[in-house]
Structure formats: C-alpha cells, structure tokens
C-alpha cells in the first residue's frame, strides 16, 4: 500500500503531500513529494541489515519551498544545467530564459522551475508507482509550447525506475533531470570523499570559469575524470587539475558510453561505501550524466536537525549535454507533437555483494 501524508502548505496555500513506496522484502523505502516531484528520502539496509536514509534533504516543506539553492531531490526543468546567454533557439526562433547566473541560466528558473511547483499526483497501487504531472503554458518559463510534463516513480523490489516525459503542441526544448544527492553511509554521516564511484565514460565535457561547457569533448584518460575503473571521490577532489579547480570539485558532465536514441537504459554510474557495504547503480537513456560533489553545500537545519557542508553528498544528474542547444553536433533532445521527450533513469540499491552479481543493462 502506498501511504499518503500531508507535508504542509506551499507559500501560496496549496496542500503538499508525501507519498511513501515500500518494498518490505528488500527493506527499501522511497519517500516522494508532489512539491517539485521530489525525492525526499530513500532508506536502504547496509550489509548487516541496518537501515539508513541515503538521500540528502530537508525535514519540512519549508526547506524545499524556500531558497533550496542545492535543489535537493527535485525534478529539474524544462532545461537542466547551464545555458549560455540564457537563450535557446527552437525552429529558427530564439527564446529567452531567465538570466540567473550572470548572463547565463541555471536549471531554467531557481524560483519557478519544476522543482518549485506543486504537481498533480496519480497513484498506481498495483505497480507500486506514483505519477506526477505539471502543465506549462506557451511561453511560460521562456519556451514555446503548451506542455505537459510527467514524472513516474515505480519501485519494484530494490529498483526505482523514474520516467520523465514532456508532451507539447509545437516544437520545444526539453532536457529534464533529477537532482537527488546521495550519501551511501547515510545522509548525515559526513562527507562522501571515501566513497567509490565508477562512471562508464571515456570522455567528459570541460567547463569555463562560469561553469558553462566549453564545447569541447575531452578524453578522460590521464585525468581525475577517468572513473571507468572506480575511484575514491576524495582522490579526484584532491587533484590540482585545472578543471577540478574551476568546479571546486566535480561539477561536470560525463559522456556515457554507448548512447543510442531510444535504446534501453545502460549502466552509467556505480557507487559504494566500503564501511556500510551499501551500493548504488544508475542506468540511463540520456547521453550524459552530471556528477556534482556538493562543493557548495551549506544548509542548516536539514533532516533530523542536522547540517550539510561541502561534499556531504554527491548529485547524479542524467541529462543531455549541458548547453547542447548551442552545439549542433551534440545529441539534441527531441520534443515535438510527434516525438514527445521521454527518458528513463533506473536506480538499483543494494550492497556490494548483491549488485556486483547483476547484469550491467536493464531490459527495455
């Protein structure tokens, strides 16, 4: 049974809710909110069976409805990441987003984007799933089209499948993502510097001083961005590499190997915490995945009355390449009446023993 509880009232007086999906046999619990189609928490057992919430966030709605500069757990869009000049060309016409990072744009709108809106919710008890939906008028948030965005969360055993979709009545641009931060030792357990991360990517996108991608696609070989064989995050974060300096850590998009439009989700990232034995695998359909090591985190109070500082968690953001609309040779997200935008993210939770034995692909 999917539990539904009140989460409080939004600043404009609407009632928000918490939806709790459970897999008792696996000890996995996922808590979601219709405010921002947000992941509030994910509880998983360690190798001894001890549960912990491995997702960073706030304990009350006010935290998410307030500044929430970190965008904890939220659905981001319609345009994720940074857009140079806050401009997007669609069908030969230039559309303008809100300049909210100098002359550039970050995550469409930090005050009115998808993560700051109350979504409608539909519960599917049989599938152990919740679908959130949000409508945008033509021109709203700076982009064309009467649009309907949906995000479906489905928990099957220890696997959480997230499907993001955007339908439109005219060509538009869509590049949605989810902005959940993980700390596999538990959300309030300190930094993630000792956690191991593997990313299936032979290349990555370097950034400029303003954190916008340069347009280059660089090989990871010989750099801190070579995570193909697993690396302790602290090792890369301690590098004197210029790109690490520019991002104050990892804040870069990795070009995940094997991208094919319409293909089944492929493994993009794996992470593990040696002390607890908790492990995570992320499978995606998008070309890239942003790894952000929480380099600017500074929030108090958070869940359980605690506080987060830099590197208290790492965000995993599957996406089309940031600023890709300005680089025609990069994969472009399709969103037309005939071809809605639809992408899938799959999270597998477990321990190093259980996940290591599973296949590296998800059946479509």
Tens-place pLDDT, residues 168-212: 999 999 999 999 999 999 999 999 999 999 999 999 999 999 999
Judge residue 354's burial from the number of C-beta atoms within 10 Å of its C-beta, 0-12 exposed, 13-18 middle, 19 or more buried.
middle
Main-chain phi, psi angles of 275, to 5 degrees: -70, -45
Q: Which residue's entry shows tokens 């409805």?
A: 65
Distance CA 214, CA 136 (A): 31
Mean pLDDT of all residues in 337-361: 84
Main-chain phi, psi angles of 351, to 5 degrees: -120, 170
**pLDDT > 90: percent of the chain:** 96
Contacts of 7 (CB under 8 A, 6+ apart): 16, 17, 18, 33, 35, 61
Q: Which residue's entry shows tokens 């619990």?
A: 29
Residue by residue, DSSP assigns 249-301 as S-EEEEEETT--TTPPPEEEEEEE-TTT-EEEEEEESSSEEEEE--TT--BSS
- Contact yes or no for 95/86 (Cβ under 8 A): no
Dump pLDDT digits (tens) for 122-152. Answer: 999 999 999 999 999 999 999 999 999 999 9
- The whole-number pLDDT of residue 335 equals 96
| Paired tokens of 19 | 């939806």
- Contact yes or no for 284/265 (Cβ under 8 A): yes
Main-chain phi, psi angles of 245, to 5 degrees: -65, -45
360 pLDDT more than 60: no
Angle ∠(182,179,241) on CA atoms, nearest 5 = 75
Which is nearest to 333 in space by CA: 149, 201, 152? 149
- The whole-number pLDDT of residue 356 equals 61
Mean pLDDT of all residues in 155-172: 98
Distance CA 187, CA 185 (A): 7
Distance CA 257, CA 224 (A): 18
**236: number of Cβ within 10 Å:** 21
Distance CA 227, CA 289 (A): 13
- The whole-number pLDDT of residue 363 equals 44
Residue by residue, DSSP assigns 66-115 as S--TT-TT-EE-SB-SEEGGGEEEETTEEEE----BTTBEESS-TTTSGG
Assign residue 10 a region: left if phi > 0, alpha if psi is -120 to 50, beta otherwise? beta
- The whole-number pLDDT of residue 315 equals 98
- Contact yes or no for 71/64 (Cβ under 8 A): no
357 pLDDT more than 90: no
- Distances, alpha carbon 141 to alpha carbons 36, 215, 295, in Å: 15, 25, 27
Active site residue 317: yes
For domain 3-356, the CATH architecture is Distorted Sandwich (2.70)
Mean pLDDT of all residues in 285-308: 97
Distance CA 194, CA 259 (A): 30
Side-chain-side CA neighbours of 235 within 13 Å: the count stands at: 12
Q: Of these residues, 154, 272, 281, 317, which one is catalytic?
A: 317
Active site residue 361: no
Residue ranges covered by each domain of the chain = 3-356
- The whole-number pLDDT of residue 334 equals 85
Q: Of these residues, 107, 179, 187, 252, which one is catalytic?
A: 179
Angle ∠(100,67,113) on CA atoms, nearest 5 = 55
């Amino acid at each position: 049974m999917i539990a539904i509880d009140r989460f409080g009232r939004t600043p404009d007086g609407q009632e928000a809710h918490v939806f709790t999906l459970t897999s008792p046999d696996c000890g996995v619990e996922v808590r979601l909110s219709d405010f921002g189609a947000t992941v509030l928490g994910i509880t998983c057992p360690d190798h001894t069976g001890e549960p912990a919430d491995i997702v960073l966030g706030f304990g009350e709605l006010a935290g998410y409805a307030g500044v929430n500069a970190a965008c904890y757990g939220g659905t981001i869009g319609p345009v994720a990441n940074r857009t140079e000049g806050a401009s997007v060309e669609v069908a030969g016409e230039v559309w303008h987003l809100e300049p909210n990072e100098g002359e550039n744009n970050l995550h469409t709108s930090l005050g009115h984007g998808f993560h700051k809106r109350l979504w409608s919710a539909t519960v599917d008890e049989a599938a152990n799933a919740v679908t959130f939906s949000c409508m945008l008028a033509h021109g709203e948030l700076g982009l064309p089209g009467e649009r309907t965005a949906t995000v479906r969360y489905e928990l099957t055993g220890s696997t959480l499948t997230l499907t993001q979709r955007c339908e439109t009545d005219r060509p538009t641009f869509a590049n949605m993502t989810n902005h959940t931060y993980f700390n596999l030792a538990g959300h309030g357990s300190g930094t993630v510097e000792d956690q191991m991360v593997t990313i299936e990517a032979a290349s990555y996108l370097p950034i400029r001083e303003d954190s916008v991608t340069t347009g280059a696609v660089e090989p990871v070989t010989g750099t801190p961005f070579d995570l193909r064989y697993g690396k302790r995050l602290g090792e890369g974060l301690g590098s004197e590499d210029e790109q690490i300096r520019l991002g104050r850590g990892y804040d870069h998009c990795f070009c995940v190997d094997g991208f094919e439009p319409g293909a089944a989700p492929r493994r993009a990232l794996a992470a593990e915490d040696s002390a607890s034995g908790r492990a995570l695998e992320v499978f995606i359909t998008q070309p890239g995945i942003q790894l952000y090591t929480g380099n600017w985190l500074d929030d108090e109070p958070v869940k359980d009355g605690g506080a987060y500082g830099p590197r208290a968690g790492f965000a995993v953001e599957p996406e089309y390449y940031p600023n890709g609309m300005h680089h025609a040779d990069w994969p472009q997200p399709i969103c037309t009446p005939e071809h809605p935008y639809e992408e899938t993210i799959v999270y597998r939770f477990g321990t190093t023993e259980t996940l290591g034995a599973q296949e590296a692909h998800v059946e479509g």
